[in-house]
Amino acid sequence: ASAEYDKKCIFCKIVNKEMGTELLHYDEEITCFKDIRPAAPHHYLVVPTKHVGNCKSLSKDHVPLIKRMVDLGKEILEKNNITDLGDVRFGFHWPPFCSVTHLHLHVLAPVTQMGFLS
């Protein structure tokens, strides 16, 4: 079982509104905010509101959560007028190529403008 709030975790602080980060969506289960170093014009992070560790900690039980994360990503994109899902990339960075342990889904668009913009 994962801790609900990890004192050392930056994303726990963000969802707990301790960092002043604008939350584009917040509910009991999932939260969305913009990536601080966008790698595309649209770059959102969708995270579980309660601390869940990285991809390697996931099991079958997490499938509904992941589905909701992807759906929220699509919803946020739609609100920002991105409707062509062929132009979107969703993904997790696989440990150890991942700097924040709190599970986070990257949502990027448009794919044609991906790169390191910052």
Q: What amino acid is encoded at 105 in this protein?
A: L
93 catalytically annotated = no
**Touching Zn ion, residues 68-107 (CB under 5 A):** 102
Is 51 a binding residue for Zn ion by CB under 5 A? The answer is yes
Is 50 a binding residue for Zn ion by CB under 5 A? The answer is no
Q: Which stretch binds ligand 5GP (CB under 6 A): 24-32, 70-78, 82-90, 97-105?
A: 97-105
Other beta carbons less than 10 A from residue 78's beta carbon: 11
Cα–Cα distance for residue pair 72/69, rounded to 1 Å: 5
Q: Which stretch binds Zn ion (CB under 5 A): 1-9, 67-75, 85-93, 108-116?
A: 1-9
> How is residue 94 written in tokens?
């696989």
> How is residue 51 written in tokens?
């601390």
